Structure 1
Amino acid sequence: MLKLTDVASYYGNIQALKGVSLHIGQGEIVTLIGANGAGKTTTLMSISGVVQPKQGRIVFLGEDITRLSTERIVSLGITQVPEGRMIFPRLTVRENLLMGAYLRKDKAGIREDEEHAYTLFPVLRERRTQMGGTLSGGEQQMLAIGRALLARPKLLLLDEPSLGLAPLVVENIFEIIEQINKDGVTVLLVEQNAQMALQIAHRGYVLETGRVTLEGPASDLLNDPKVRSAYLGLD
C-alpha cells in the first residue's frame, strides 16, 4: 500500500532522515519505535507532505506522492493525527469532527461517518456541543482520531496517541486503534510506548538517528534482546 525508498528529509541544514526505506501492506498495523529525535515524526510528516524529502521516493497505492501537496495527499486517502492532538479549542466537538471532512462533498456519507465516530467514542456524542478546549487529554485524543476518520482515510498515521494520558485511557485508545484497523483502515503508528505498540502491531521498524536499524514481525521485536533493553526497559 505504501512504500518509502531511501527517503532523506531535512529541517533547514539538519538531516532528520538518512535513507529510510519501509513498506506497509494493506490492512496492516505497522509501528515505528525509537528514541526521541530518531526521526519518527519526520517520517510521518514526509509521508503526509508537510516535509518534502530531498531524496528518495514515497509511493502510495502505485502513485508517486513524494512531491505532492498535503491537500492532495489527504484527498488520496492518507490522514495524520498529529502529536499533541492539535484540535481547535474554540470550536465545538462536532465542529472539530466535521473539519476532518472539509475535502468531502458527500453529505450522507459525512453524516454516516460522524455517527460512526460517536459509536467508537460515545463520550464525544455526550460532549458534541462542548468546546474542544474544555475536554480532558484523553477526550481530545479521541476527538483528534475521530476528526481524522471523518476524512475517510485508507491509511491512518498516528503520532504518539498515548502521550500524556493515564494508563486506563491508553488501553482504551489502543483498543480503538485495533477496532479501526478491523474496520478496514491501515495504520502506521508512531509510539513511545513500544510495548503496547508492538502488542497490537503486525510488524515494526526501529528508527535510530534517522535510519532503520531493525525491522520484523512485532512479536519478534518484542522478544529481541536489544529492543527489550533499549525500548521496553526489560533485561
Structure 2
Amino acid sequence: MMLELKDLHVYYGAIHALQGISLKVEEGEIVTLIGANGAGKSTTLNTISGLNRVQNGSIIFNGKDITRMSPPDIVKLGICQVPEGRRIFPNMTVLENLELGAYLRSDKEGIKKDLEDVYRRFPRLLERKGQLAGTLSGGEQQMLAIGRALMSRPRLLLMDEPSMGLAPIIVKDIFNIIKEINQSGTTILLVEQNARMALSIAHRGYVLETGRITLEGPAKELADNPQVQKAYLGG
C-alpha cells in the first residue's frame, strides 16, 4: 500500500469539507476521484500535500504518518501535485519553470536526465524552452505543469483537473501522457471532472459527494454503474 487515508476530517472554518474519508492507493495504480464541484476532491489532494490542516484522521504514505508534515517535507518523500489551474510561473521561461520543479534536489546529473525525459515526453516544451510560460497555449501550460511536477521525481503524482479548459483533442493527448507516466512507474491519484475519461484510464475509483465517499470499486465497474452513469457520465 503506497497511500492510505484513514477517517480524514477537514474543516474550512465552520464548513466540514471532508467528513471521514478513507481511501487507498496501491503502488503502480491510477486511482481517480470523481464527483460534482464542491464534493471535496481538490480538498483531498491539497490535504495529502499538506496544504490543509487535518482535524481528525491520518494520512499514511509508505508506512509513514505524514498527517502533520509540511508541504516541502512531503515533496521530499516523493509526493508531488499538479495543481488545478496549472499555476505555472508566467513571467519565467519554460526551462526556469521546469528547473523550479527540482528545487529540492541536488543531483545535477539526475536533474539533467529528468529534464531530457520531460523534453522527450513533451517535445513542444523543448521547442519553447526559452519562451515565457505565460505565452504558452492552455495545453502547453498543462504539459509544463506536469513536466514541472515530474522534475521532483515523484513516486506518487497528484493530478487536479488536468483536462480543465482544454480542447477535446488536447484532453485526449493529456490522458495518453498520464497513462504513459503511470506505465513508466509513477503511481497517480487523479481528480477529474471528465469522469468518463478518468474511468477509462484508471484502475480503481472513488465517488465523492459532499465530503463523503459514496461508492468505490474497479474503474470499469464504476463506469458501468447506472447511478454513476446518470450522475456523471450523461447516461
- Which TM-score bucket, shorter chain as reference? over 0.9
Aligned to 1:177: 178
Calculate percent identity across the aligned residue pairs: 65
Provide the secondary structure at the position in 1 that maps to 2:33: strand
**Paired amino acid for 1:116:** D
Provide the secondary structure at the position in 2 that maps to 1:42: helix
Measure how far apart 1:12 and its partner are: 1.6
Aligned to 2:77: 76
Aligned to 1:98: 99
Aligned to 1:158: 159
Aligned pairs (5 A) from 1:117-196: 117-196=118-197
- CA distance in 2 between partners of 1:107 and 1:13 (Å): 46
Measure how far apart 1:137 and its partner are: 0.3
**In the TM superposition, what whole-angstrom CA distance separates every residue of 1:63-113 from its partner, at most 9, and x where no partner exists?**
000000001000000000000000000000000001100000000000000
**In the TM superposition, what whole-angstrom CA distance separates every residue of 1:35-59 from its partner, at most 9, and x where no partner exists?**
0000000000110000021000100
Measure how far apart 1:10 and its partner are: 1.1
Aligned to 1:202: 203
CA RMSD, 1 decimal: 0.4
- CA distance in 2 between partners of 1:92 and 1:132 (Å): 5
**Paired amino acid for 1:209:** T
- CA distance in 1 between partners of 2:175 and 2:103 (Å): 26
**Paired amino acid for 2:78:** G
**In the TM superposition, what whole-angstrom CA distance separates every residue of 1:96-149 from its partner, at most 9, and x where no partner exists?**
001100000000000000000001100000000000000000000000000000
TM-score by length of 1: 0.99
- CA distance in 2 between partners of 1:103 and 1:12 (Å): 32
Unaligned residue ranges in structure 1 (runs of 5+):
none
TM-score by length of 2: 0.99
- CA distance in 1 between partners of 2:191 and 2:20 (Å): 18
Aligned to 1:107: 108
- CA distance in 2 between partners of 1:54 and 1:221 (Å): 30
